[in-house]
């Protein structure tokens, strides 16, 4: 599964390395609740505050008692002391000052969400994600809300109900009602929770979410339900389809995908977005001297690690594939060579059939020449075996660029690239 029940993709550590993995875009809590409202969920009355003074004024407007929550793209806020309660203006001001200064998993609060505290009779958990083993979307429910679902799944697996559903079937509440009933939910609670779980599952599909969690979902004394907290992530590669939603939420994806994007990374993203053909621009900046243009997926991580293993210092991570245009590769090459400290670039991919090696070679050589350099001196190695590779070899040979065919492993290509840097 995705959700927090899954393992983190990849073995790299550090915030810059995490950006390599193409992790989903996580919404802040107040953004997630805006989306939940669109889907028919009730949420507490709230206001955003940037300072302790703003928070105290907002609390007075909402009415006490209130909850003050740090807005960070991370979990663990309660344990980090970044969620506080207040029953008076003095308490609200003091709590806001403390929360705003709290760092949560490397993130400082971008704002405070001040909410009126709800009267809760019971807390439960609702979730929607993907079961990657079954290759089906998955809805989850637990009567134990307000705690980490991973802990519940590990300690009380019988308390986590799972409902797999098909994205191709007409929207209906039936499978979710059946799943909740099997988990022991009955009567008024079943009537209340069924449409909410169904709406969360539908949101997963409609908005290209990889994860949607409402934890806790509070059941109120009058029988209504309210989302007290939410964790929602949007698939990064589907953001182009969700432009209207992203605009409505006021989110800048470049500042939310992993660590805050650098100007260099934003320019690479602009290059990628300038032409629909292929991928050439998913970039993560490092401080090394070897610029990398490498194939996407697991092969790119293998190449990146191989460069480091041989003592190389990557200036970046960058995925290409899907047959990008010459213009796109040229612009990307020029961008790499404009980065201070970059001595050479290396172009490496696994065997490909969906990318023309000759077009990549043309783009790289054109970019090097337009940047004012000799390709033979700036390209440490070129290894893209597969479609049109013979044509690429002729072109590379003409400019004196060292190239390797499929008989040389990615590890050997990485070794040669490092030795020539």
Q: With a cut of 90, say whether residue 105 has pLDDT above it.
A: no
Q: What is the pLDDT confidence band of residue 266, given thresholds at 50, 70 and 90?
A: confident
The DSSP code for 271 is: H
Residue span(s) of the chain under CATH 3.40.50.261 come to: 262-419
pLDDT tens-digit map of 306-326? 999 999 999 999 889 999 999
pLDDT tens-digit map of 66-80? 999 999 988 889 989
**CATH topology for 122-249?**
D-amino Acid Aminotransferase; Chain A, domain 1 (3.30.470)
Q: With a cut of 90, say whether residue 106 has pLDDT above it.
A: no
pLDDT tens-digit map of 298-311? 788 889 999 999 99
Q: With a cut of 70, say whether residue 166 has pLDDT above it.
A: yes
Quote the pTM value: 0.67
List the beta strands (DSSP E) in 57-159: 66-70, 83-86, 112-116, 122-131, 136-142
Q: What pLDDT sits at residue 156?
A: 80
Q: What is the pLDDT confidence band of residue 5, given thresholds at 50, 70 and 90?
A: very low
Q: What is the pLDDT confidence band of residue 13, given thresholds at 50, 70 and 90?
A: very low
- Report the alpha-carbon distance of residue 235 to residue 242 in Å, rounded: 10
Token pair 């390209």 is found at 379
SS3 at position 111:
coil
pLDDT tens-digit map of 206-220? 999 999 999 999 999
Q: What pLDDT sits at residue 283?
A: 85
Q: Which CATH number fits domain 262-419: 3.40.109.40, 3.20.20.70, 3.30.365.10, 3.40.50.261?
A: 3.40.50.261
Q: With a cut of 80, say whether residue 153 has pLDDT above it.
A: no
Among 90-99, 136-145, 271-280, 361-370, where is mean pLDDT lowest? Answer: 271-280
- Report the alpha-carbon distance of residue 296 to residue 178 in Å, rounded: 41
Residue span(s) of the chain under CATH 3.30.1490.20 come to: 45-116
Q: Which helix (H) or strand (E) holds 300?
A: helix 298-309
Q: What would the CATH number be for the domain defined by 45-116?
A: 3.30.1490.20
| Long-range contacts, stretch 11-18, CB < 8 angstroms, 24+ apart | 12/301, 15/106, 15/258, 15/259, 16/258, 16/259, 16/284, 16/285, 16/286, 17/284, 18/258, 18/259
CB within 8 A of 351, min separation 6: which ones? 385, 386, 406
- Report the alpha-carbon distance of residue 215 to residue 231 in Å, rounded: 8
CB within 8 A of 294, min separation 6: which ones? 300, 303, 304, 317, 318, 319, 320, 346, 347, 348, 349
Q: What pLDDT sits at residue 254?
A: 66
Q: What pLDDT sits at residue 19?
A: 55
Q: What pLDDT sits at residue 252?
A: 82
Residue span(s) of the chain under CATH 3.30.470.20 come to: 122-249
Q: Evaluate whether 270 touches 280 at the Cβ level (below 8 Å).
A: no
């Amino acid at each position: 599964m995705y959700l927090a029940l899954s393992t983190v993709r990849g073995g790299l550590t550090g915030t810059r390395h995490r950006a390599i993995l193409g992790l989903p875009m996580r919404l802040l809590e107040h953004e997630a609740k805006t989306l939940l409202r669109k889907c028919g969920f009730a949420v507490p009355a709230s206001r955003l505050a940037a300072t302790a003074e703003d928070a105290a004024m907002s609390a007075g407007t909402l009415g006490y008692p209130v909850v003050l929550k740090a807005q960070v793209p991370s979990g663990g806020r309660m344990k980090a002391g970044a969620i506080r309660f207040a029953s008076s203006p003095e308490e609200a001001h003091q709590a806001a000052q403390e929360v705003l200064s709290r760092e949560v998993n490397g993130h400082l609060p971008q704002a405070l969400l001040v909410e009126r505290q709800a009267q809760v009779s019971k807390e439960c958990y609702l979730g929607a994600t993907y079961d990657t083993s079954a290759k089906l979307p998955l809805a989850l429910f637990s009567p134990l809300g307000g705690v980490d679902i991973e802990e519940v799944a590990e300690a009380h697996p019988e308390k986590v109900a799972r409902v797999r559903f098909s994205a191709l079937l007409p929207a209906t509440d039936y499978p979710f009602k059946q799943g909740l009933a099997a988990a022991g939910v009955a009567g008024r609670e079943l009537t209340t929770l069924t449409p909410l779980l169904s709406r969360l599952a539908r949101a997963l599909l409609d908005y290209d979410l990889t994860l949607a969690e409402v934890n806790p979902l509070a059941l109120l004394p009058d029988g209504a339900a309210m989302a007290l907290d939410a964790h929602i992530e949007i698939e990064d590669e589907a953001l182009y389809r969700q432009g209207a939603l992203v605009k409505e939420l006021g989110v800048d994806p470049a500042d939310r995908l992993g660590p805050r994007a650098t100007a260099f990374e934003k320019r690479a993203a602009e290059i990628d977005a300038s032409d629909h053909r292929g991928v050439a621009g998913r970039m993560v900046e490092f401080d090394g001297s070897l610029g990398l243009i490498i194939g996407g997926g697991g092969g790119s991580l293998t190449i990146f690690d191989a460069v480091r293993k041989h003592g190389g210092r990557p200036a970046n991570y960058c995925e290409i594939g899907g047959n990008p245009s010459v213009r796109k590769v040229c612009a990307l090459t020029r961008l790499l060579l404009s980065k201070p400290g970059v001595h050479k670039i290396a172009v490496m991919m696994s065997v490909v059939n969906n990318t023309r090696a000759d077009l990549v070679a043309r783009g790289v050589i054109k970019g090097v020449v337009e940047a004012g350099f000799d390709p033979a001196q700036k390209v440490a190695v070129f290894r893209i075996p597969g479609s049109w590779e013979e044509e690429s070899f002729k072109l590379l040979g003409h400019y004196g660029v060292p190239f390797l065919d499929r008989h040389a492993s990615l590890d050997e290509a990485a070794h040669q690239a490092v030795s020539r840097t």
